[in-house]
Amino acid sequence: MYDVAVIGAGPTGGSAALFAAKAGKKTVVFDNGKSITTRAWMENHYGVKELSGPDMIKIGKEQVLKFGGNIVEATVENIEKSENGFILKTDNRDFTAKHVIFATGLSVDLAEKIGLKLKDGTEPRVKTIIDVDSYGRTNIDGIWAAGMGAGKGFHTIITAGDGANVAVNVISELNGQRYVDHDVLK
């Protein structure tokens, strides 16, 4: 059983998975290859001169793997509650996790299918979002949402930060105390 399953490998999901894996949590991230970031070009990330969306996703996945996370190239088609968490069903395999983070960008179809509360979007071109509290919790205990799909903006630097923030909240809940991750120069 995974501690954290992240649905979506764009900036939001990649950041969430990176933080969870680096915190030592057994982490899986599902990538259906449909991230809108694959069409992005970024020159608005502090400390980064320029970066293509495909390169951002590639580097992010490498970081997740470096810290022991797993990446599954598949679409999560359904989620069911289990005794200890959730069963995530893909087209060919089931996975179990204690917590699930939705980082699905513009897509809320799965969220709607499993009964997550939705509301009107707040950004141009974002019609519907998942209703979350300030920590990223949804109406189903143990399921969280971050980034564009949770109404946190359209820019990759903002959605990546929100993915990290929600992951820190999940990690804190798993640990029973506030989690902080600060690296220092070696």
CATH topology of domain 2-175: FAD/NAD(P)-binding domain (3.50.50)
| 3 state SS of 143 | strand
| 3 state SS of 92 | coil
What pLDDT, on the 0 to 100 scale, is given for residue 52? 79
Q: Distance between CA 23 and CA 17 in Å, rounded? A: 10
Report the sign of the C-alpha dihedral through residues 140, 145, 148, 151, in that order. positive
What is the amino acid identity at position 56? M
Q: Give the list of residues 6+ apart from residue 41 with CB closer than 8 angstroms, or none.
A: 50, 51, 52, 53
In the block, which residue shows the tokens 């300030």?
134
Taking the domains of the chain in order of start, what are their residue ranges?
2-175
127 or 93, which is more confident: 93
pLDDT level of residue 124 (50, 70, 90 thresholds)? confident
What is the amino acid identity at position 42? M
Judge whether residue 164 has pLDDT over 90.
Answer: yes
What pLDDT, on the 0 to 100 scale, is given for residue 150? 93
Judge whether residue 149 has pLDDT over 80.
Answer: yes
The token duo for 105 is 């960008």
Q: Distance between CA 126 and CA 148 in Å, rounded? A: 8
Q: Distance between CA 48 and CA 169 in Å, rounded? A: 26
Q: The whole model's pTM is what? A: 0.94
